[in-house]
A and B are shown apart, each in its own frame.
Chain A
Amino acid sequence: MRGKRSILAALSAAALVGAACGGGGGGGGSGGPKVLQSIGPGEGQLNLVAWIGYTEDGSTDPKSDWVHPFEQQTGCKVNVKYGDTSDAMVNLMRQGGGTSYDGVSASGDATDRLIAHGDVAPINVNLIDGWKGFLPTLQSPPHNTKNGVHYGVSYMYGANILMYNKDKVSPAPSSWSVIFDSSSPYAGKGMAYGGAIYIADAALYLKTHRPELGITNPYELTQPQLNAAIDLLKQQKPLIKKYWTSATDEINLFTSGDAVVGAAWPYQVSILTTQKPPVPVDGIIPSEGATGWADTWMMSSHAQHPNCMYKWMQWASTPAVQAQVAEFYGATPSNTQSCAIIEKDLGADAAAPYHCGDDSFVKQLYLWRTPLADCGNGKNDCIDYSIWEQKFTEVIGG
């Protein structure tokens, strides 16, 4: 979160008050916020908000099922609502005063908002066995840990990749220009993500292609830089067949042939290459680099089933489950003990793109986070996320 501590400190202080008032659970710690000291018996139910592909129960692929074993082991029946965007997830977590859902697999652009608003509870990571095996960067990352207080446990991370149909796109692309440059031969067959955070992808492209704008971080944009990114997105619009917000949408368009190249998650590649009949797609990180996400399981501060949620976080952090999710989704697990399992399952060559346990890989991605006005230069001249959303409406609705 590179040097904008003042506002976050203020926000998280406010969150602490809220969380301390709202937090249930066991006995108090030493002065810090109250967290659960031991996991009690499960409540029989668990309601989750998750990214699609994060809570597989075998219905997509019988071999990928880490929900049913959890249910059998803990007696917690899992109900999942998929969120299409981080914004939708934040909204879902606030439904019913925060009582509708017990937990969420939040990306870094949602975690800050959930913590600042007091929507999520502090977590006692000592109760999560797998946590000790996490990549050091992801044990207490700034997007889920404020002033030493944990608000969740890391899950998967990965890049927003460029996916293309190997039969239709040749030569293989190496730059995002295939969906940004108006001379792209694949005009009208591209896909772009339909959430405001996608502005960061445009900014990242401009960072390389228009260095005179002086973009250093795609989430810290001044007004002229944001305007340039919006102009790029407007100019991109004719290239785009459809903006996708659900991964299924993109899978459908790649299957029908309406789209041949687009911004995607590893999940889409995983489904498209294994469905019947498969679509020959590949996913790459282009030369300009990529934005990405590091997701965290967080617990609602008004969770109705906190013990089941703790049991879930514990389950989701184990090396075996982390390896299973990673192999299904194409994401990289936080728990480094799962790397050996992935290598054993897939072989060294197929496991290499996961960069499992590679700290430099996660550091090279521009992970999703909430843009704030204060971007650390003391001038408060960056543009915050509410303006990003308004500007993005201009792109999609214009």
Chain B
Amino acid sequence: MVYLAALAILLVSAFWRLDPLSFSVVHRLGLTNFQILWRESVYRKIAVRTVGISAGVTITDVLLAFPLAYYAARLAGSRLKAAILLSVTLPLWSSYLVRIYAWRLILDRQGLVNWTLHKLHLASVDISFTNWAIWIAFTYLWLPFVFFPIYASLERIPGSFLEASSDMGAKWPMTLRRVILPLALPGIVAGSIFSFSLTLGDYITPTTVGNTQFIGNVVYNNVLGVASNQPFGAAFALVPVAVMAIYLLAARRVGAFEAL
């Protein structure tokens, strides 16, 4: 109830505006904020960057998590399986901030990556504080959240299905495409909801390991930080809300919520 009320105020305040002289909020409905959002190309750029990196992170996480989850769910012995599950959950025991700062140290000029490359007599890479660094950090952060739904959906597939598929002459790629993937799809979509929405709403990682702004940074600056234009922040915050609404509706169509 409290949450819904807060959301409603967010929705309404997006249509208010800030008086430029007194810096106080004018409680009159209007489209000023949305006009600025539409007119200034920088906000479109930030929105596209945020959604783009969210999508990139999600795809990478699914590509990494699926083979690992498949191995853990169907091929590994019980001890190996336990080891995999433990190693995936282990990072969750430490604070989110600790993990971000760890990546900052790993990627910086004299960090682990460049140290290793140097020892191997390879050229050093300079990706600290770039969008690549953001992509890597996010992919790492959300991997467990993508892994588990996929793991659960793969484990649920009865072995007899795969045997039936092969008995009827289907080769492994055909079984993967026609049997496993359709049955695992709800799990994949459920996991992707986590990685996509978590990236979409994050504002700490982009400025800590990167040097750019996400939607969340602009919102933060407007609500708590630099610009103190709360109505404008609310208006921009509706963009990820809308993106997620569309995403969730699409996910429901493929039955992702049954896998949760």
Check B45 against A397 for contact (C-beta < 8 Å): yes
Interface residue A57 (Cβ < 8 Å from any Cβ of B): no
Are B226's CB and A256's CB within 8 A?
no
* C-alpha spacing A253/B228, complex, angstroms: 28
Check: B99 CB closer than 8 A to any chain A CB: no
Those of B98-145 within 8 Å (CB) of chain A: 105, 108-111, 126, 128-129
Q: Which of A69-118 contact B (CB under 8 A)?
A: 84-85, 87-88, 90-91, 113, 116-117
A195 to B228, CA, bound (A): 13
The answer to the question of A389 belonging to the interface, with a C-beta cut-off of 8 Å to chain B, is: yes
Shortest B24–chain A CB gap in Å is 8
Contact B23 A113 (CB under 8 A): yes
In the complex with contacts A397-B45, A398-B42, A258-B211 CB distance below 8 A: no
Given A91-B228, A257-B110 in contact, is the A397-B20 Cβ separation under 8 Å? no
- Is B218 positioned at the interface, with any CB of A under 8 Å from its CB? yes
Q: Which of B201-257 contact A (CB under 8 A)?
A: 211-213, 217-218, 221, 224-229
CB distance from A115 to the nearest CB of B (A): 12
A397 to B213, CA, bound (A): 5
Docked pose: A13 CA to B212 CA in angstroms: 41
Minimum distance in angstroms from A394 CB to a CB of chain B: 4
Give chain B nearest CB distance to A374 CB in angstroms: 11
Q: Are B23 and A117 in contact (CB under 8 A)?
A: yes
Shortest distance in angstroms between A197's beta carbon and chain B's nearest beta carbon? 10
Which residues of chain B come closer than 8 Å to A196, judged between CB atoms?
226
Q: In this complex, what residue of B is CB-closest to A398?
A: B42
Q: Which of A117, A241, A393 contacts B22 (CB 8 A)?
A: A117
**B46 contacts A by Cβ under 8 Å:** yes
For the complex, give the distance between the alpha carbons of A113 and B228 in Å.
12
Tell me if B40 and A390 are in contact (CB < 8 A): yes
> How far, in whole Å, are A196 and B222 apart by their CA atoms in the complex?
13
B residues 43-65 near A (Cβ < 8 Å) are 43, 45-46
Cα-based distance from A200 to B145 in the complex (angstroms): 45
Q: Is the interface of A mostly helix, strand, loop or mixed?
A: helix
**Taking the nearest CB of chain A, how far is it from the CB of B33, in angstroms?**
12
Distance, CA A397 to CA B43, complexed state (A): 8
Interface of B, helix, strand, loop or mixed by DSSP: loop
Q: Which residues of B contact A91 (CB under 8 A)?
A: 224-225, 228
Contact with B228, one of A87, A243, A257, A258 (Cβ below 8 angstroms): A87
Q: How far is the CB of B28 from chain A (nearest CB, A)?
A: 18
User: Is the CB–CB distance between B42 and A393 below 8 Å?
Assistant: yes
Instruction: Say whether A188 faces chain B, with CB atoms less than 8 Å apart.
Output: yes
Q: Which residues of B contact A394 (CB under 8 A)?
A: 40, 42
**Min CB gap B52→A, angstroms:** 14
* Contact for A256 among B18, B111, B217, B229, CB less than 8 A: B111
0/1 interface trace, chain A 290-331, chain B, CB 8 Å (1 if under): 000000000000000000000000000000000000000000
Using CB atoms, name the residue of chain B closest to A392: B226
A38 on interface, CB distance cutoff 8 Å? no
Cβ-closest chain A residue relative to B18 = A386
Within 8 A of B (CB), among A199-244: 240-243
Residue-wise interface mask of B (26-48) relative to A, using a CB-CB cutoff of 8 A (1 in contact, 0 not): 00000000001000101101100
B212 x A397 contact (CB < 8 A): yes
* A257 contacts B227, C-beta separation under 8 Å: no
Q: Do B211 and A241 touch across chains, with their CB atoms under 8 A apart?
A: yes
- A396: CB under 8 A from chain B? yes
* Cα of A90 to Cα of B105 in the assembled complex, Å: 33
| Residue from B211, B221, B227 in contact with A243 in the complex, judged by beta carbons closer than 8 Å | B211
Return B179 CB to nearest CB of chain A, in Å.
46
B258 to chain A, nearest CB (A): 39
Q: Which residues of A contact B129 (CB under 8 A)?
A: 241-242, 258
Expressed in whole angstroms, the minimum distance between the Cβ of A258 and any Cβ of chain B is 5
The answer to whether A384 has its CB under 8 Å from any CB of chain B is yes
Interface residues of A in 359-398 (CB under 8 A from B): 384, 386, 389-390, 393-394, 396-398
- Minimum CB–CB distance for B232 against chain A, Å: 10
Considering the complex, which residues of chain B in the window 148-187 have a beta carbon less than 8 Å from any beta carbon of chain A?
A: none
Instruction: Give the chain B neighbours of A393 by CB distance below 8 A.
Output: 42, 213, 218, 221, 227
CB distance B226 to A195 under 8 Å? yes
Contacts of A256 in B (CB 8 A): 105, 108-111
What are 28 residue pairs bridging A and B, where the CB atoms are less than 8 Å apart in the complex?
Answer: A85-B225, A87-B225, A87-B228, A88-B224, A88-B226, A117-B24, A188-B126, A195-B226, A196-B226, A241-B129, A242-B129, A242-B211, A256-B105, A256-B109, A256-B111, A257-B109, A257-B110, A258-B108, A386-B227, A389-B227, A390-B40, A390-B227, A393-B213, A393-B218, A393-B221, A394-B40, A397-B43, A397-B46
Interface of B toward A, CB cutoff 8 Å: 18, 20, 22-24, 36, 40, 42-43, 45-46, 105, 108-111, 126, 128-129, 211-213, 217-218, 221, 224-229
Chain A residues at the B interface, C-beta cutoff of 8 Å: 84-85, 87-88, 90-91, 113, 116-117, 188, 195-196, 240-243, 253, 256-258, 384, 386, 389-390, 393-394, 396-398
Q: Which 10 pairs from chain A and chain B are nearest by CB?
A: A397-B213, A87-B226, A394-B42, A256-B108, A242-B211, A257-B109, A397-B46, A258-B109, A389-B227, A242-B129
